[in-house]
Homo-oligomer: A and B are copies of this chain.
Amino acid sequence: MRGTAVLSTGCRPATSSGVNPGKPPTRVLRLVLEYDGTDFSGWQVQLGKRTVQGEVARAVQRVTGERVVVHGASRTDAGVHAEGQVAHLRTRTRIGCDRLVHALNAHLPPDVVVLRIDEVPEGFHAQYHATGKTYRYRLLERPVRSALRRNRAYLVRTPLDLERMRASAARLTGLRDFRAFCTEARTRGRTERRIDRLDVRREGDEMVIEVSGSGFLYNMVRTIVGTLIWAGIGKLSPDDVSAILESKDRRRAGPVVPPQGLTLVEVRYGDGPGPASP
């Protein structure tokens, strides 16, 4: 939840000085959300499925009476967690941001919570104006599965070579074409993305991979992790990883690892041009 307050214009209640007398003006609110993805069919509303987007919209309706669309910065998949998902919505409620945090949390289920709300300028869009995101993936590196972390980490029973993973990760940073690291069926348009940071570190019996970048293609983070695991077990060298990147051939990269190891840590908003800037 670092660096998410760049665009904030503070938490002021809406005034009634709008053009429609008697009808409160529309406010745009930016929400920071934490959720446990285990029992959700992902972020996005789907008919008959339990989704985060659906639960947040339902809580807003219970508190304000309005039917709103909650636009998320990232459409996290089923099983993926978030510590700092960002979303925006338009509302006419006059409830102040801090009070609204508590009101929504009182109506949200235990596995999703609003951490903060800020009023942002008209035109702000959580997805389109995001300038960077950070994801974390946890690998459990031990011979026996874990009961306590079964929904938080992915078990790799083969010992991993940390230095080889780090050397391979270094080949993926910078502005690159990540066509070989995405699932094409859901990827449209340009496949260049910029990875600013791709750290691999040991924490006890876990290998933690943290990646920050301008944006990520569909399944890109989980394919990078699958490829780094192949490097860690000696199946790929750093040069192989560079060659895969250059080949733009999805069939050469590693597998898409399961969702439960993945957490959306934060979404950043820069101060470049556009309607979202203060």
Contacts and interface: CB of A to CB of B under 8 A. Distances in A.
Interface of A: 34-36, 81, 83, 101, 105, 110-116, 144-148, 150, 263
A203 B105 CA distance: 25
Contacts of A144: 101, 105, 113-116
13 contacts: A34-B146, A34-B148, A36-B147, A36-B148, A81-B148, A83-B148, A101-B144, A110-B150, A111-B147, A112-B147, A113-B145, A113-B147, A148-B263
Number of copies of this chain that the complex holds: 2
A139 to B, nearest CB: 17
Contacts of A150: 36, 110-111
A30 B150 CA distance: 24
List the 3 shortest-distance A-B pairs measured between CB atoms, nearest first.
A113-B147, A34-B147, A35-B147
Given A36-B148, A148-B263, 13 more contacts: A34-B146, A34-B147, A34-B148, A35-B148, A81-B148, A83-B148, A105-B145, A110-B145, A111-B150, A112-B147, A113-B144, A113-B146, A115-B144
Contacts of A35: 147-148
B147 A110 contact: yes
Nearest to A263: B148
Contacts of A114: 144
A148 B81 CA distance: 8
A83 B146 CA distance: 9
Nearest to A144: B115
Contacts of A263: 148
A94 B146 CA distance: 26
A164 to B, nearest CB: 27
Contacts of A146: 34, 113
A47 B111 CA distance: 30
Contacts of A115: 144
A150 B108 CA distance: 13
Contacts of A81: 148
A186 to B, nearest CB: 26
A263 B147 CA distance: 13
A259 to B, nearest CB: 14
A151 to B, nearest CB: 9
